[in-house]
Amino acid sequence: MADEEIDLGEERTYHAVPPPSALGGPAAAQGASLELGPRKPEEPPRTKSASELRLDAIRRKLGEARSSNHKAVVDEDRRRKMTDKQLRDEERGRGRELKQKRGEGTLAEDPLFSVSAEEAELAVEREREKRRRGESHTWNLEEFTLVHGARIKTEMALEASGAVAAAAGSQADVDPMSYGSASAYAPREDRVDALVDDLARQAAARATSSRRRQHYEEDDVTYINDRNKVFNEKIAREFNKYTSEIKNNLERGTAL
């Protein structure tokens, strides 16, 4: 009867088993530990030799290099897929973040405020010249027009001097059987002199002209950009001889 009372009073179920001390059971609260077997004696930490330390350092550097290389490859692939506008926006954002980290985000510390107008204009001109040199391999309508016009003028000058007709007549008189002989195609003395004069004229033109024109501060500003300035100069060369008197009369107030 007593055994039956003991059996009824004690419920042996799975949930009634306390958790082990490793999981915070009662034994852990009381400072006891769950021993699953004989404890092995703890070995003292072994000091690494110089070669082992050097090997660990090399492995650590290899891991850092591998990680940085992978990061660089991923960033390069991402930037290659971006457009020019996205790249510019990213550069601006990176510059703003760098200024904020350095505390240079205020207007008082903006480096552009320490640049004069002349220095800024020179910087813009250098950037424009660099861009022009970079685009020199592309086709430019204005330069093509100038070269074509110079060629037309040269051909007109040759036709006016009779050089083309004389050359055609001299070629018609050449014996076709005398191919390869220097005397058959020897240039005339007048054509040699004309070639020398033309080369001298080109050398003088190159010596007295340059691509970069000098800017005079006292001149009137009649243009809005460099291209418009060149256009106005071309118009002035053609029509100033007709409009200079009218312009002077308007400035003096004596116009009719």
Give 39's pLDDT tier (boundaries 50, 70, 90): low
The answer to the question of residue 225 being in a domain is no
The answer to the question of residue 30 being in a domain is no
Residue 237, SS3 per DSSP: helix
Over the stretch 230-249, which tens digit does the pLDDT of each residue have?
899 999 999 998 888 888 88
pLDDT reading at 121 higher than 80:
yes
| All residues at 6 or more sequence positions from 166 whose CB lies less than 8 Å from its CB, including other chains | 188, 191
Distances 165 to 50, 168, 171, 195 between C-alpha atoms, Å = 94, 5, 10, 16
| All residues at 6 or more sequence positions from 110 whose CB lies less than 8 Å from its CB, including other chains | 104
pLDDT reading at 115 higher than 90:
no
pLDDT for residue 2: 45
| Residue 55 parent element (H or E) | helix 50-80
The answer to the question of residue 121 being in a domain is no
Q: CA 167 from chain center: how many Å?
A: 52
Q: Which residue in this structure is represented by tokens 């088993």?
A: 17
The answer to the question of residue 101 being in a domain is yes
| pLDDT mean over 79-94 | 85
| All residues at 6 or more sequence positions from 178 whose CB lies less than 8 Å from its CB, including other chains | 184
Q: What pTM, to 2 d.p., does this model score?
A: 0.24
Cβ(105)–Cβ(96) below 8 Å = yes
The answer to the question of residue 80 being in a domain is yes
The answer to the question of residue 214 being in a domain is no
Q: Which of 59, 63, 41, 43 is nearest to 51 (CA)?
A: 59
Range list of H helices, 173-225: 189-208
Q: Which domain holds residue 83?
A: 56-107
Distance separating alpha carbons of residues 194 and 198, to the nearest angstrom: 6
Backbone angles phi, psi at 138, to 5 degrees: -85, 165
pLDDT reading at 123 higher than 80:
yes
Structurally, how many domains does the chain consist of? 1
Distance separating alpha carbons of residues 106 and 89, to the nearest angstrom: 20
Distance separating alpha carbons of residues 68 and 74, to the nearest angstrom: 10
pLDDT reading at 116 higher than 50:
yes
The answer to the question of residue 24 being in a domain is no
Structure tokens at 151: 């060629």
The answer to the question of residue 78 being in a domain is yes
Structure tokens at 108: 């008082």
